[in-house]
Structure 1
């Protein structure tokens, strides 16, 4: 986060790691809907989840927690593993405390690197235009931990 400079138009990658740990006390993902045909779908088409995930500065377990990711994900295709993602990155630490970025887009899970749009932001990210490149860093099927890396490119004033 230290490379983010405010008060000028600038594009910089902002690495953010989103940790989803289903078996940890700080994780919540509620399934709020599914289609009648979801159980027959190889892609879980029709599932809708409301996740709350941790945002950290790095992929290590001891990395500094800087906020959370809150939003909505939905299985968006009956032909491939892809999600419709509407998520707010909510920053609670450092100089970005109280700022948010709102990410919206299609996350095609079969691709190594995926891109999604950031529709805007609040606080330090007012009037921003952005995009996100994301990849899955690791999946631990035993613990339920899914670690995704987000490189956020922010254009702001």
Structure 2
């Protein structure tokens, strides 16, 4: 009986040791990037729409419980004509009674050659009235498997007449 237990434990240790060595072979990488969201909250080509309540054409970002769906183009430069590298697809929910916070669930879906098909998953509370808002990067796919990190959002400009906002997003992630 003792020999069988010894053989079993030896096999288990050998198996787990090899599994650990496999994990050690993965190289942890850090990537920092700055991208630009082009957010159109009105007009015929809107990339953000409210999916709850009556809006009469005007979005109410500070109304508690308001839910928005987004599919913003993301470019490598701040100009609208800059090369599009991704889409920001997901939802926002105004989650504070006073409208100060929005819960963000966004997938950055890369369409450029370098990261095509990869995603970064962003989630967290975004303080709407702050100049810079920070949320967590909670995962990713493709080139960003097992991603963890953070992203900051800063609205660089907003044109009330055209309902266009330019948002700078700085992303720092660790991934394998």
TM-score between both structures, scaled by the size of structure 1: 0.84
- Residue 142 of structure 1 is matched in structure 2 by 161
Matched, 1:23 2:43: yes
1:118-157 correspondence to structure 2 within 5 Å:
118-157=137-176
- The CA deviation at 1:127 is 1.5
- Residue 77 of structure 2 is matched in structure 1 by 58
- Residue 13 of structure 2 is matched in structure 1 by none
Which structure has more relative contact order (CA 8 Å, sep 6+)? It is: 1
Cα deviation 1:43-78 (Å, max 9, x = unaligned) = 311111111111111211221101101101011111
The structure with the greater share of residues assigned to helix is: 2
- Residue 126 of structure 2 is matched in structure 1 by 107
- State the alpha-carbon separation in 1 of the partners of residues 106 and 53 from structure 2: 19
Extract unaligned runs of 5+ from structure 2. 1-25, 55-59
- Residue 3 of structure 2 is matched in structure 1 by none
TM-score between both structures, scaled by the size of structure 2: 0.75
- Residue 33 of structure 1 is matched in structure 2 by 52
| SS of residue paired to 2:114 | helix
- The CA deviation at 1:28 is 3.1
- State the alpha-carbon separation in 1 of the partners of residues 149 and 168 from structure 2: 16
The structure with the greater share of residues assigned to strand is: 1
- 1:90, 1:99 within 8 Å by CA — same for their partners in 2? yes
- State the alpha-carbon separation in 2 of the partners of residues 77 and 56 from structure 1: 30
- 2:32, 2:171 within 8 Å by CA — same for their partners in 1? yes
- Residue 89 of structure 1 is matched in structure 2 by 108
- 2:63, 2:99 within 8 Å by CA — same for their partners in 1? no
Cα deviation 1:116-150 (Å, max 9, x = unaligned) = 00110000000211210111111011111011111
- State the alpha-carbon separation in 2 of the partners of residues 48 and 100 from structure 1: 22
Extract unaligned runs of 5+ from structure 1. 1-6, 36-40
